[in-house]
Structure 1
Amino acid sequence: MKKDKYSRYEFLKKVGFTGPALMAVLGSCTQNEDFNVNALVVNTNGDTVSDLSSTSPVNVSTTPTTPTTPTTPTTPTTPTTPSVNALVSIDLNSSAASNLKTAGGYIIVNNMYVVGKTTAGAYVAASVVCTHEPKRQIILNKTEYFCTAHGARFALNGQTLNTVARSSLTVYKTQVNGNILSVTA
């Protein structure tokens, strides 16, 4: 008997899963090898950077969180206390957040969120999990979200910009309180 080796996605499609049911099963059975975080920009020198004109390496913050309902990005404000309902809180003065000082810069937080600064200067946040296949390879590409696995493109409000992904990307609200950037549902 010949044994073919299938990816989880190929196997589930062969047994009949399609559409939302396929995505639900794929999303519920991800494993560590599915969590690809190599969605980084590499400049002409071969260095991993926040954008092509940068020479600073990309840093990642780690704060445990749980994702919830998607919302739309907001512009920063300047209160002095962190948000009580924050999914993630990022100290903008930390070295881990250095890429958020430049427009187009982003960081991946807890392998769950891509948090970035748009070219307009607003902070945005979204899930790193692509809706095309549950690969954790969403990055901020200056004015849109981009999946480095298959080329899916999403507007900053999460809407699809091409036909690769059929459903919207989960996005979150952001708020700046002093030097703390909070990502909330």
Structure 2
Amino acid sequence: MNITQEKIDRLTFLKKLGLSGASLMAVYCGVTMTSCTNEGDIAGPLPTGGITFDLTAAANAALNTKGGYVVDRTNNIVVAYTSDGTYVAVTLICSHEGQKQITYATNKFYCTAHGATFDNSGKGTNSNGSAGLKTYTVTKNGSILTVS
């Protein structure tokens, strides 16, 4: 027996599900599914004193090149070195659907899950990113970055 699995997008799925099913899914999603939770509900504060990144450490080497970034999954943040030579940090958790898939490229943050895009200040630049991203303060002292 050969079973072929078809992938469909969300709109097609909801159309196939029908209005009553879509209503039920919307209620379920709002109550129980974490992927539908707003970023503001799940992005917690950083540890007291902030998080430090040693720019001389191999794990943080990308932060020495403009356009480079580091993802810290332990603390759910993304730190990037912008093309204008500043460091910026935002939450790893996308405000669109709570996916932990924020990356950095071409001087902007984006979510690989749904295409939401954000500028260096965390402001959304398309409809999926309209809620923006939580941002953090980044300070540099010698070769140490502190995100707080």
- TM-score, normalised relative to structure 2: 0.70
Instruction: Tell me what 1:15 maps to.
Output: 28
* CA–CA separation in structure 1 for the residues paired with 2:140 and 2:40: 34
With over 3 angstroms needed to count, the CA separation of the structure-2 counterparts of 1:87 and 1:150, relative to structure 1, is same
Match of 1:97 among 54, 57, 60: 60
Write the mapping of 1:21-100 to structure 2, written as runs, cut at 5 A: 23-24=37-38, 27=41, 67=45, 86-100=49-63
Q: Structure 2: 5+ residue runs without aligned partners?
A: 1-21
Over the matched positions of the two proteins, sequence identity in percent amounts to 31
Contact 1:100 1:116 survives alignment (8 Å): yes
Please state how far the C-alpha of 1:12 moved relative to its aligned partner. Answer: 5.6
Contact 1:103 1:142 survives alignment (8 Å): no
* Matched AA of 1:98: A
* Matched AA of 2:73: N
CA deviations 1:120-171 (Å, max 9, x no partner) are: 1111100010001111000111311111111000111111100113311011
* CA–CA separation in structure 1 for the residues paired with 2:38 and 2:114: 19
Structure with the higher helix share, 1 or 2: 2
Contact 1:124 1:173 survives alignment (8 Å): yes
Please state how far the C-alpha of 1:26 moved relative to its aligned partner. Answer: 10
* CA–CA separation in structure 2 for the residues paired with 1:157 and 1:166: 13
* CA–CA separation in structure 1 for the residues paired with 2:39 and 2:62: 34
Contact 1:105 1:142 survives alignment (8 Å): no
Structure of larger gyration radius: 2
Instruction: Tell me what 2:13 maps to.
Output: none
* CA–CA separation in structure 2 for the residues paired with 1:116 and 1:27: 24
- TM-score, normalised relative to structure 1: 0.57
